[in-house]
């Protein structure tokens, strides 16, 4: 067996075959109360890759916290090869207040890689990069829909990169969407430092959607299997569909929306997706699919203003 020593994260040394939890200090509230990033390290008894799991970079996207909890519950460090670094709540401030953003109204997922001397968002990003990303070869960033929208469980990743695609296929969400890296995201910053990163989107903010959580738990476990961190499971029963192009359909009029389709529905170009009615039930507009595809996201609000996003359609490859 290869030599395998302790891992040190944030100055905490974790021995092989052990689980340890601690907090990484990240400054204070205006009241002086200390804030910290909670971290759990599962350091396997045998060597292998280091995989990080994180959720709630957007503080109101809480479903991923539950996904990480359930994955950790079943991880036995004596059976782990390598290391799992789990950070269930990255935007601690937003999580406490049910807010996507940080107190300075910055989006943490536009603030990577950050810097030690920058804004609060930059400091958190820098801490996450140096303590978590720089120790890992693979990462899974867990998100949900925003603004009263819900998403079909889906992986967003660079499907042109063979290793990223292999792990996206192993995750086995209903859909994989090829998504280019956006400036300032954790995914972009970590990819530039050599990590393979999957972004999981499922369910809606501030809610625990069991489908989204189940699909996420199973997917994370399969990625841990595919990287060799745990022994199996490898490969989903049903392969993921793939998409390289998605479109949001917007409301043509303001009114009360009655959606006729749901997540995962296949639709054809010109198909009626729903009706927008006035307050007396008279239809004022029809929402139609702009292309053939699958519904991968939709609004949860029956009240729409002209221009609001109503349904997200993925063109299937
Ligand atoms: Zn998000």
Name the CATH topology of 244-316: OB fold (Dihydrolipoamide Acetyltransferase, E2P) (2.40.50)
Question: What integer pLDDT is reported at residue 30 of this predicted model?
Answer: 86
Per residue of the chain (317 residues), what is the pLDDT tens digit? 456 899 999 999 999 999 999 999 998 888 998 999 999 999 999 999 999 999 999 999 999 999 999 999 999 999 999 999 999 999 999 999 999 999 889 999 999 999 999 999 999 999 999 999 999 999 999 999 998 999 999 999 999 999 999 999 999 999 999 998 899 999 999 999 999 999 999 999 999 999 999 999 999 999 999 999 999 877 888 999 999 999 999 999 999 999 999 999 999 999 999 999 999 999 999 999 999 999 999 999 999 999 999 999 999 98
Phi, psi of 80 (to 5 degrees): -90, 135
**Ligand 1 centroid distance, CA of 238 (Å):** 26
Say if CB 197 and CB 142 are below 8 A apart.
no
Alpha carbon of 282 to ligand 1 centroid (Å): 36
Please tell me the predicted confidence (pLDDT) of residue 157. 98
In this predicted structure, what is the pLDDT of residue 4?
87
From ligand 1's centre to the CA of 187, what distance in Å? Answer: 12
274: β partners: 259, 287
pLDDT for position 144: 97
CA 242 to centroid of ligand 1, rounded, Å = 21
Cβ atoms within 10 Å of 57's Cβ, excluding its own: 28
Distance 62 CA to ligand 1 centre (A): 10
Report d(CA 162, CA 26) in Å as an integer: 36
In the beta sheet, which residues pair with residue 255? 304
Q: Decide whether 7-239 matches 244-316 in CATH topology.
A: no
φ/ψ (deg, to 5) at 296 = -115, 0
| The architecture CATH gives domain 7-239 | 3-Layer(aba) Sandwich (3.40)
Cα(180) to centroid of ligand 1, in Å? 16
CA–centroid distance, 145 to ligand 1, in Å, is 7
Q: Distance between alpha carbon 70 and the CA centroid of its chain, in Å? A: 15
What does the DSSP assignment read for 70-100?
HHHHT--GGG-EEEEEEES-S-HHHHHHT-S
Whether a cis peptide bond, with omega within 30° of 0, leads into 112 is no
Contact present, 168 and 155 (Cβ < 8 Å):
yes
Comparing CA positions, the residue from 271, 301, 303 lying closest to residue 287 is 271
Distance 143 CA to ligand 1 centre (A): 4
Q: What are the extents of the domains in the chain?
A: 7-239, 244-316
């Amino acid at each position: 067996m290869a030599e395998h020593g302790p891992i040190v994260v944030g100055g905490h040394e974790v021995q092989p075959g052990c689980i340890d939890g601690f907090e990484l200090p990240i400054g204070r509230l205006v009241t002086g109360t200390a804030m910290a990033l909670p971290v759990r390290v599962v350091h396997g008894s045998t060597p292998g890759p280091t995989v990080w799991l994180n959720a709630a970079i957007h503080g109101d996207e809480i479903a991923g916290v539950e996904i990480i909890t359930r994955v950790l519950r079943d991880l036995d460090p004596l059976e782990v090869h390598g290391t799992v670094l789990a950070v269930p709540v990255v935007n601690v401030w937003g999580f406490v207040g049910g807010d996507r953003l940080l107190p300075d109204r910055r989006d943490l997922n536009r603030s990577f890689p950050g810097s030690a001397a920058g804004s609060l968002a930059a400091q958190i990003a820098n801490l996450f990069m140096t303590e978590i990303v720089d120790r890992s070869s693979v990462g899974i960033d867990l998100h949900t829909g925003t603004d009263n929208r819900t998403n079909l469980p889906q992986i967003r990743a660079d499907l042109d990169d063979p290793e990223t695609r292999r792990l996206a296929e192993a995750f086995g969400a209903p859909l994989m969407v090829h998504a280019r890296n956006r400036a300032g995201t954790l995914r972009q910053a970590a990819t530039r430092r050599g990590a393979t990163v999957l972004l999981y989107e499922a369910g809606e903010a501030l809610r625990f959607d069991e489908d989204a959580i189940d699909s996420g738990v199973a997917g994370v476990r399969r990625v841990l299997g595919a990287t060799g961190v745990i022994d199996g499971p490898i490969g989903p029963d049903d392969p993921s569909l793939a998409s390289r192009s998605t479109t949001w359909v917007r409301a043509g009029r303001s009114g009360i929306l009655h959606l006729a389709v749901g997540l995962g529905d296949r639709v054809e170009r010109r198909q009626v997706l729903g009706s927008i009615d006035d307050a007396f039930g008279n239809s004022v507009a029809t929402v139609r699919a702009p292309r053939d595809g699958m519904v991968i996201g939709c609004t949860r609000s029956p009240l729409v203003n002209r221009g609001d996003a109503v349904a997200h359609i993925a063109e299937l490859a």
